[in-house]
Amino acid sequence: MNDTSHAESLAADLFRMVMQAKERGIAVDRGFRNHALESPRLSITYLFLPRAELLKVSAFPPALRRFVRRMNALVCLEAKKDNGRRTTLGIHLLWATDAPLAEVCGPEAVQEELVLPGVAAYTEQVRGLLRADIARAAKTDA
């Protein structure tokens, strides 16, 4: 998958999450979470947060603060240990918009406002995790 098709796919996924939350009656402009993946070793959660809430997060990287807008979509990757504890592997800012989420008109609008450094960092981290998991599985099978 090339960078353009990956951005289109991610934008479509983020837009779908917003639409599904609206359909469930969630006030999307207040923010919400979407638990996208829950496996024995990994959890991926998308966070849709208003600017005021996001800027309260003390661990939010200062270099990314310039990208923050009225509404923001982040992805949080967490490793799950055998004892049930979770370790944050990464938090990436994927999308930032000044439009209220309830008014976002389509995936194309989302794609235009993707935060490309965040998308690239997320993509690279997921690729690395998958490579490590494949290597771990190959060792187990050998």
User: Domain limits of the chain?
Assistant: 3-141
Mean pLDDT in residue range 96-102: 96
Return the closest-CA partner of residue 114 out of 90, 97, 91: 97
116-141 helix and 3-23 helix, angle to the nearest 10 degrees = 100
Instruction: Please tell me what DSSP assigns to residue 35.
Output: E
Model pTM score: 0.88
Query: In whole angstroms, what is the distance from residue 139 CA to residue 74 CA?
Result: 33
Instruction: Write out pLDDT tens, residues 46-95.
Output: 999 999 999 888 777 788 888 999 999 999 999 988 888 999 999 999 99
